[in-house]
């Protein structure tokens, strides 16, 4: 029953999330634009799931894994913002694919074995997340406050996710904690597989 409930939850996350450009309102004040950008980052499963997969990976890597990779992630975010006008619909599929790889690695591979690659994976993920969030919009179409909101939302989700992994590992210093987070990563991978399948199949699939 618990497994069936989890599958239903995964389906609920997947079905509504057709891959399409995010619509941003115009005419709001700076604070409203900031909130809209943060809301898109935190409320869109196609953006949020890969970030959470990265967060679990960094949290399992080392106690200060997030701080080690954060400069790369921030640089990648800025690159993603700059290159977003060049992104096409393919970027959403690429992001889901990267998220799936990250979740699978977190579930199956000890992070220490791929430690040199993790900061660069963080940079790549952040770049594609921001490019996917703004895909379909020209540079002048989006207020700067919206971009700041997107940056805040993405990095809040990343820091909160990695911080939760670190907190639980500090509080429960037992191998079962790592096992639990690897199981969580495997569920993220399963949800991303379903999400990717619906994205590739298109909105006409029930």
Residues 151-196 pLDDT 10s: 999 999 999 999 999 999 999 999 999 999 999 999 999 999 998 9
pLDDT at residue 95 greater than cutoff 70: yes
Whether 182 is in a domain gets the answer yes
Whether 7 is in a domain gets the answer no
Residues 6+ apart with CB under 8 A from 85: 134, 137, 138, 139
Percentage of the chain modeled with pLDDT above 90: 67
Whether 126 is in a domain gets the answer yes
User: Which of 163, 160, 81 has its CA nearest to residue 126?
Assistant: 81
Name the E strands within 145-189: none
Whether 206 is in a domain gets the answer no
* pLDDT band, residue 1 (cuts 50/70/90): very low
Q: What is the pLDDT of residue 22?
A: 65
Whether 74 is in a domain gets the answer yes
Q: What is the model's pTM?
A: 0.85
Domain of residue 105 covers: 29-201
Whether 121 is in a domain gets the answer yes
Whether 11 is in a domain gets the answer no
Whether 82 is in a domain gets the answer yes
Q: Output the average pLDDT for the chain.
A: 86
Domain count, the chain: 1
Q: What is the pLDDT of residue 124?
A: 97
Q: What is the mean pLDDT of residues 104-112?
A: 93
């Amino acid at each position: 029953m618990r497994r069936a409930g989890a599958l239903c939850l995964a389906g609920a996350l997947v079905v509504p999330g057709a891959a399409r450009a995010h619509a941003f309102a115009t005419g709001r004040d700076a604070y409203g634009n900031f909130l809209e950008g943060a809301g898109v980052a935190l409320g869109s499963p196609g953006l949020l799931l890969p970030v959470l997969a990265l967060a679990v990976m960094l949290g399992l890597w080392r106690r200060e894994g997030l701080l080690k990779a954060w400069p790369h992630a921030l640089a990648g975010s800025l690159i993603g913002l700059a290159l977003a006008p060049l992104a096409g619909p393919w970027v959403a599929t690429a992001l889901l694919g990267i998220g799936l790889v990250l979740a699978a690695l977190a579930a199956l591979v000890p992070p220490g074995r791929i430690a040199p690659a993790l900061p660069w994976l963080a940079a790549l993920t952040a770049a594609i997340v921001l490019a996917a969030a703004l895909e379909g919009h020209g540079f002048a179409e989006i207020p700067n406050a919206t971009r700041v909101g997107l940056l805040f939302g993405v990095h809040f989700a990343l820091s909160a996710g990695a911080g939760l992994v670190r907190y639980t590992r500090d509080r429960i210093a037992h191998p079962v904690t790592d096992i639990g987070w690897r199981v969580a990563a495997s569920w993220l991978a399963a949800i991303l597989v379903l999400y990717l399948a619906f994205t590739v199949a298109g909105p006409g699939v029930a």
